[in-house]
Amino acid sequence: MRLRQLFIVGIFFFATHAVWAQGFSFGVKTGIDLARISAHFKSSDKPGHSDPVIGFNINAIIEYRMANKFGVTMEPGYIRKGYLKDWGNSVTMKIFNYLQVPILLDYHVTEKLAISIGPEIGFSLDGPYFFVRREKVDLSAVLGVSYRLVEHFEAGLKIGSAITPSLQRKSTYSTYTEYNQYAQVSIAYRF
């Protein structure tokens, strides 16, 4: 029994070492977001924007760095999105919770500076609000930049804009559609 446990620990050790040697790195990241919605009342109308609401995010980081300047990063985690709307005599604030999975292609300009671009899939963790059902999946385009401050810490800036609607309501006379947008400032720790 003891020999089997040593064997399993040994395989785990060599597998972990092999993953690290192949260019993988891991970390955690947290930050503050400014989130809003872009609202469209008809497909041809000019979009309207809500006021931003402050949210936060917390993500894991899994990066595969290739031998050249390119890499791929996946950052699964939690983010709060939403909006603030002033209706004149009242203010409405809505907060929505998402499990997000950005998959980004990284270009390392220098050893410290990287630019990232790619899709992000968001899964809504909320139910309907006032009998209005939001879409369960939110697909966004993401653009980001990160800079390594010291050996294990880096700062980042990211913007995301939804490609698919987070809410869509149709009536006989009009269609109302909302798209999530956010800007994010973050700090990351790499192991």
Question: What CATH number is associated with residue 80?
Answer: 2.40.160.20
Report yes or no on whether pTM surpasses 0.85: no
Number of domains, the chain? 1
Q: How many CB atoms lie within 10 A of CB 13?
A: 10
DSSP letter, residue 14: H
Mean pLDDT of 124-139: 70
pLDDT at 113: 95
Alpha-carbon distance of 190 to 65, in angstroms, equals: 13
Q: Does 9 reside within a domain?
A: no
pLDDT at residue 127 tops 80: no
Q: Does 64 reside within a domain?
A: yes
Alpha-carbon distance of 67 to 142, in angstroms, equals: 24
In this prediction, residue 28 has a pLDDT band, given cuts at 50, 70 and 90, of very high
pLDDT in tens, 55-110: 899 999 999 988 788 999 999 999 988 777 765 666 677 778 889 999 999 999 99
Burial class (CB in 10 A: 0-12, 13-18, 19+), 183: middle
What's the chain's length in residues?
A: 191
Sign of CA dihedral 76, 53, 35, 133: positive
pLDDT at 8: 61
91, two tokens: 């203010």
Q: Does 13 reside within a domain?
A: no
